Amino acid sequence: MRAVIQRVSEAACQVDGEITGQIGLGLLVLLGIEGADTDDDLQWLAQKIASMRIFDDGNGLMNKALADVDGNILLISQFTLFAQTKKGNRPSFIKAARPEKAIPIYEQMIKTLHEITGKKIATGIFAADMKVSLINDGPVTIIMNTKDRENH
């Protein structure tokens, strides 16, 4: 799995002009699911997302986690995080999981994040044409890859 995690003061997702998910302070997580991903990848990443101390404390240092600031999560599925651009100018998405594998993993990520945080997880709609807006706070943006854990 790959995740782009952005600390936001607000974020929202719209599909066909309707808001499907919206948060104030928290994390916008763009999630890419690979065919080789396992439940172990999901559990590791969910725990990292919920526990990462990237919110400012009273001294302006990143010492607080999502729970410490009563933050929320907007989770957006994004297969394009597995774009391969080695050949030509049109990206290939062959490493991205097919919907029959990706949808259950995405749904399990929603459930797992809810269980860890105790909060409803705001979402987009899998495979929809989504319009995502955000105010990146900092800006703070972190990229994680479950297949490269030693660097995360």
pLDDT in tens, 92-144: 898 899 999 999 999 999 999 999 999 999 999 999 999 999 999 999 999 99
CB 11, CB 72: distance < 8 Å:
no
φ/ψ of residue 22, rounded to 5: -155, 140
Q: Which of 38, 80, 85, 141 is catalytic?
A: 80
pLDDT at 69: 97
pLDDT at 88: 85
pLDDT at 5: 98
Q: Indicate whether 152 pLDDT > 70.
A: no
Active site (annotated) includes residue 20:
no
Q: The whole model's pTM is what?
A: 0.94
For tokens 């986690």, what's the residue?
Answer: 65
User: What is the mean predicted confidence (pLDDT) over 54-71?
Assistant: 96
pLDDT at 56: 96
Higher-pLDDT residue of 88, 24:
24
What is the spatial distance between Cα 73 and Cα 125, in angstroms, rounded to a whole number? 15
